[in-house]
Amino acid sequence: MAYLMLIFNKIADLQGYLSPFQSSHKTVGFVPTMGALHAGHLSLITESKNNTHITVCSIFVNPTQFNDPKDLERYPRTPEKDIELLKSANCDVVFMPSVEEMYPINAAKEHFDFGHLDKILEGQHRPGHFSGVAQVVKRFFQIVSPTKAFFGSKDYQQVMIVRALVQQMNAPIEIIACPILREADGLAMSSRNMLLNAEERVLAAQVPQIMQSAKQTVLKTGPQAAKLQVEALISKMPHCRYEYFEVCEANTLKPVSSLEPDTKYVGLIALFVGKIRLIDNLTFSL
């Protein structure tokens, strides 16, 4: 028998469907996505299926988190394929709202304060990005009222922002960070990878290698040497533009200039390959 997956476009219909589950204390798992799904997204669905009674996946290309209108325009959209993939992952419910449904015209714009968390790394290079993320995630959390929400560690800083958001909302939602899924050559899976041409795809595969060798340099010589090394390597790659490489304390995301024992660190990178912006990260300790 084909798997029955329900698709909703309207908030009221989704809430009407979820309400009996919630009132009978069934756990609701939520996986927010922007579509153009790949195995990384599906791993979040699987995690949710394994840990909750009912799994809701949203597909919504959120305009408010794009600081570059061209990036929003070229963001891949593959709704039919996404639906087939979600069926194959036994997802229970898909929520695909319109922009008007998510953002009624007279809704007030909210201001968020995440301290240093939204001012460094992605926050510094994509002004307004995390306000847009917080706005849409908060709205989804209010609509879906999930018990647990599943996010990929590929967007490491985003997970920290979402944890801070849930604290600020005082919402009883457990945030679960899931591992990064990678292609066979190590490139972190991303919807944006399908926008790379053949030559750019080969260049992109160097990113995980650069990260591994940066980690060795951090451990041997320290974060500053690794930063210089990453910047030098990327500036030699054709069509590529370095944005940042930073070593941070993994639990606070505070940049560090030396390592201490018994502490977890994360190295985070962002670069352009052609017009496509890629991010990746790697956790380690001494």
> Counting contacts by CB under 6 A, is residue 281 touching ligand AMP?
no
The residue (of 43 and 52) whose beta carbon lies closer to ligand AMP is 43
First to last CA, the chain: 52
Q: Which stretch binds ligand AMP (CB under 6 A): 33-41, 100-108, 123-131, 210-218?
A: 33-41
- Active-site position among 41, 53, 111, 129: 41
> Counting contacts by CB under 6 A, is residue 190 touching ligand AMP?
yes
The CA distance from 58 to 212, in Å, is 33
> Counting contacts by CB under 6 A, is residue 45 touching ligand AMP?
no
Residues 61-80, mask of contacts with ligand AMP (x by CB under 6 A)? --------------------
Place of tokens 């070593």: 247
Q: Which stretch binds ligand AMP (CB under 6 A): 11-19, 180-188, 257-265, 275-283?
A: 180-188
Which of 18, 28, 44, 207 is close enough to bind ligand AMP by CB under 6 A? 44
Structure tokens at 224: 């500053």
Q: Which stretch binds ligand AMP (CB under 6 A): 73-81, 96-104, 152-160, 167-175?
A: 152-160
Which of 33, 48, 58, 157 is close enough to bind ligand AMP by CB under 6 A? 33
The CA distance from 234 to 236, in Å, is 5
> Judged by CB under 6 A, how many residues of this single chain contact ligand AMP?
17
> Letter for the amino acid at 231?
E
Which of 48, 52, 58, 191 is close enough to bind ligand AMP by CB under 6 A? 191
Nearest to residue 266, comparing CAs of 275, 256, 276?
Answer: 256
Structure tokens at 82: 């996404």
Segment holding 146, helix H or strand E: none
How many CB atoms are located within 10 Å of the residue 199 CB? 12
> Counting contacts by CB under 6 A, is residue 152 touching ligand AMP?
yes
> Counting contacts by CB under 6 A, is residue 126 touching ligand AMP?
no
* Pairing mode of beta strands 28-33, 6-8: unpaired
**What's the min distance (Å) between Cβ of 175 and ligand AMP?**
10
> Letter for the amino acid at 114?
F
> Counting contacts by CB under 6 A, is residue 43 touching ligand AMP?
yes
Instruction: Based on the residue annotation, tell me whether 116 is a catalytic residue of this protein.
Output: no
Write the CB contacts of 249 (distance below 8 Å, at least 6 apart in sequence): 256, 263, 264, 265, 266
> Counting contacts by CB under 6 A, is residue 151 touching ligand AMP?
yes
The CA distance from 153 to 180, in Å, is 6
> Counting contacts by CB under 6 A, is residue 181 touching ligand AMP?
yes
Nearest to residue 150, comparing CAs of 234, 48, 6?
Answer: 48
CB distance 274 to 196 below 8 Å:
yes
> Counting contacts by CB under 6 A, is residue 137 touching ligand AMP?
no
> Counting contacts by CB under 6 A, is residue 155 touching ligand AMP?
yes
Q: Which residues bind ligand AMP (CB under 6 A)?
A: 33-34, 40-41, 43-44, 151-152, 154-155, 178, 180-181, 188-191
Catalytic residues: 41
